[in-house]
Amino acid sequence: MSAEHEYAISVAKTEYREGHNTGDVERVLNVFADGFTNMPEGEPSFYGEEARQELRLQLSTLFDRYQVKMEIVIIEIAIFGSTAIDRGWHKLILTPKAGGDPEVRRYRYCETWQKHVDGSWRIVFFISNKDYEPKMLETKEIGLSGEGVK
């Protein structure tokens, strides 16, 4: 049963991606539940109907300014009955419609999904933040006090 739910969420994530790639605001919004919570980096948090209104405005502006290509990497989908947690990366390649070089933005995301009575899965909580290039940690020995010792 878990594989069936993971597949359904993966199909919804495909709709999310293709909504971005085709500039279709409503197609993207269809993946979100009514009354969802949105917490993107660099933006205020929005809840309920305001979250939908703000996301609609944000997507409309994005699609007006850029040709968008989205790539998604799903790290894991964990199913807990009628709730699931999905986490991974969203990569946006934004080509300005007014001309210019493409810009690449990469975000880490975590989503909470809920299964609805019609069998569909929808995002009820979305959080994202900018992803940074990996770097090596400094080599330190950690003492029992928790302070680093060189």
Residue 43 binned pLDDT confidence (cut-offs 50, 70, 90): confident
**pLDDT exceeds cutoff 80 at 142:** no
Return contacts of 22-26, CB within 8 angstroms, 24+ apart. Answer: 23/63, 23/67, 23/68, 25/56, 25/59, 25/60, 25/63
Whether 145 has a pLDDT exceeding 70, the answer reads no
pTM: 0.85
Please report the beta strands in the chain, taking only residues with DSSP state E, as ranges in sequence order: 32-40, 46-47, 66-80, 83-96, 103-115, 121-130, 141-142, 148-149
pLDDT at 150 exceeding the cut of 60: no
The pLDDT value recorded for residue 141 is 59
Whether the per-residue pLDDT at 77 is higher than 80: the answer is: yes
Q: What is the mean pLDDT of residues 29-44?
A: 93
pLDDT number for residue 136: 75
